[in-house]
Amino acid sequence: MVLTMPSQTKPGEPKSVAVRPPDSREKILEVAEGLFAYGGYAGVGMRQLAATVGLSKSSLFHHFPTKRELYAAMLDRVLSRIAAALDAVSDHDAAPAVRLEEWIDGVVRMLSEDMPAGRLMMRALVDEEPFPAVRLTADAQSDRELMPFEVRLAGIVDRFRALLEEGIAEGVFRPVSIGDSILSVIGAVVFHFSSGDFGEALIGDSIFSHAAVERRRREVSEFIRRGLQA
Amino acid sequence: MVLTMPSQTKPGEPKSVAVRPPDSREKILEVAEGLFAYGGYAGVGMRQLAATVGLSKSSLFHHFPTKRELYAAMLDRVLSRIAAALDAVSDHDAAPAVRLEEWIDGVVRMLSEDMPAGRLMMRALVDEEPFPAVRLTADAQSDRELMPFEVRLAGIVDRFRALLEEGIAEGVFRPVSIGDSILSVIGAVVFHFSSGDFGEALIGDSIFSHAAVERRRREVSEFIRRGLQA
DNA sequence: GTCTATAGTGAGATAGAC
DNA sequence: GTCTATCTCACTATAGAC
């Protein structure tokens, strides 16, 4: 399977540069994130979503053929932001321990500024059939290439896996179980930012407050550093 | 607030010892656990639940006045099993580090043998309004005292908190943020056993297999030991 | 305690005008 | 692209016989 990039500047096709698409779609997805994050897939109806966006139900179905495809498109957007947060910090090739810490910092900061993201990720991971092996816009009309959730997720996970393997091979990390370690990191980082009221009750402050986020960053980094160090 | 135990043997009240109650209720709750664990609250209907149990919808409503109370009763059952797993290992008063490791072992083993429990806990923690401040059977007819979810959960969390505080006071744990540490432990333990397909894809084996469980126990214990040690 | 029958609401999805 | 109107179905919950 070849994942081609949008191929934006084909010479000879003017394309009338739609730099600013009229964005009903994006608005729908943005509102959908907020609702699905709190209610889950089954807990939010197209009716409710339409009302919140300020459109009719039928308009939603004009943009997305089914509720599931809407949900999948929304999840893809969230995952792409998480992937972007990782891309933003991992350009240079520092030592594994440094890169890992920067990744964790990056993801913690990103999730702290992107409230629905943690919850939506958590829901997607806990729900079986992670919504779904979606194919979307295979026609030439649109450039959007929506990756299946699993593929995009696997891309993120594999980068972690490679980092851990590298660190272990170099002897700077102890020979931990890589799968278990990744699950632990996700548990420590993603679950935290999806724990809402419970987390707030535990730490006595909003989990999204500046102080709580900075403390979380330090605590998680230290835990993981100690946990991995050879 | 006084949390009194059921006060089982009041002398003078024969009570006609109903040691074996006729258990439609328990059967409903058991089936409900399996369904809600996978579909979540909104994803499972009373119709579907009734059909799976082998009763009519109306019979469900005979035992539980609303869907929410059924769900709350089911969650309470799950939490009580988790609390029981902690009780089973924490009778003696060993050093904090030892007790913590035994607790983690106990919870990991319990969650590994109780498939719906992890998922249901995770859902309850991620969903806001953790379902709900339920009052149930305030009448004298029944001994069942259903605690609000938050109260029972707080009971479990407070034991962890006390343990960490004790260890820190004794100087065997470093002065970590207690709330953050509890969230990390929950993330590492509970999330793992609710990660289903994703976890399986990551570790290349069912997360409930004997080998995977024993490895998880070791890995998590070691991570936490290193993370906390002064 | 279980059932059938049904009420009443809201769900996802479609038809077709503008 | 957006709308109103409508279809069909599943949902929670209730009524009342047995």
Per-position pLDDT tens, chain B of length 230: 333 344 444 444 444 555 565 589 999 999 999 999 999 999 999 999 999 999 999 999 999 999 999 999 999 999 999 999 988 886 677 899 999 999 999 999 999 999 999 999 999 999 987 554 444 444 433 445 566 788 889 999 999 999 999 999 999 999 999 999 999 999 999 999 999 999 999 999 999 999 999 999 999 999 999 999 99
For residue A134, name the pLDDT band (cuts at 50, 70, 90).
very low
Region A114-139 average pLDDT: 75
What pLDDT was estimated at residue A145? Answer: 57
What pLDDT was estimated at residue A149? Answer: 84
In whole angstroms, D18 C1' to B56 CA is 15
Asked if A186's CB is within 8 angstroms of B220's CB, the reply is: no
CB of B61 under 7 A from strand D? yes
Distance from CA of A84 to the nearest CA of B (A): 21
Q: Which residues contact B52 (CB under 8 A, 6 or more apart)?
A: B31, B34, B35
In whole angstroms, C14 C1' to B11 CA is 68
In terms of Cβ atoms closer than 10 Å to its own Cβ (0-12, 13-18, 19+), residue A42 is: middle
Token output for B14: 């024969």
| Start-end of H helices in B23-142 | 24-43, 46-53, 57-63, 67-89, 96-112, 115-126
Nucleotides of D under 7 A from a protein CB: 1-6, 10-16
Block residue for tokens 């399977």: A1
Asked if A182's CB is within 8 angstroms of B187's CB, the reply is: no
Asked if A202's CB is within 8 angstroms of B179's CB, the reply is: yes
Put simply, the chain A residues between 171 and 230 with a CB less than 8 A from any chain B CB are 176-177, 179-184, 186-192, 194-199, 201-204, 215-216, 219-220, 222-223, 226-227, 229
In the three-class reduction of DSSP (H, G, I as helix; E, B as strand; rest coil), residue B210 is classed as helix
Of A220, A64, A204, A90, which is closest to residue A144 (Cα–Cα)?
Answer: A64
In whole angstroms, C2 C1' to A149 CA is 45
Distances (CA, A) of B79 to B6, B42, B86, B117, B148: 17, 20, 11, 8, 11
Asked if A220's CB is within 8 angstroms of B184's CB, the reply is: yes
Calculate Rg over the CA atoms of chain A: 20
Put simply, the chain B residues between 54 and 113 with a CB less than 8 A from any chain A CB are none
What residues in B contact A37, CB-CB < 8 Å?
none
CB of B48 under 7 A from strand D? yes
For residue A126, name the pLDDT band (cuts at 50, 70, 90).
very high
Asked if A128's CB is within 8 angstroms of B195's CB, the reply is: no
Give the chain A residue whose CA is nearest to the CA of B118. A126
Angle at which helices A149-170 and A178-186 pack, to 10 degrees?
Answer: 120
In whole angstroms, C11 C1' to B133 CA is 27
Region A108-126 average pLDDT: 97
Distance from CA of B207 to the nearest CA of A (A): 10
* For testing contact with chain A, the best of B44, B127, B225 (most A CBs within 10 A): B127
| Start-end of H helices in B90-230 | 96-112, 115-126, 149-170, 178-186, 196-203, 210-228
Q: What is the pTM of this model?
A: 0.88
What domains appear along chain B, each with residue ranges and CATH number?
A: 76-228 (1.10.357.10)
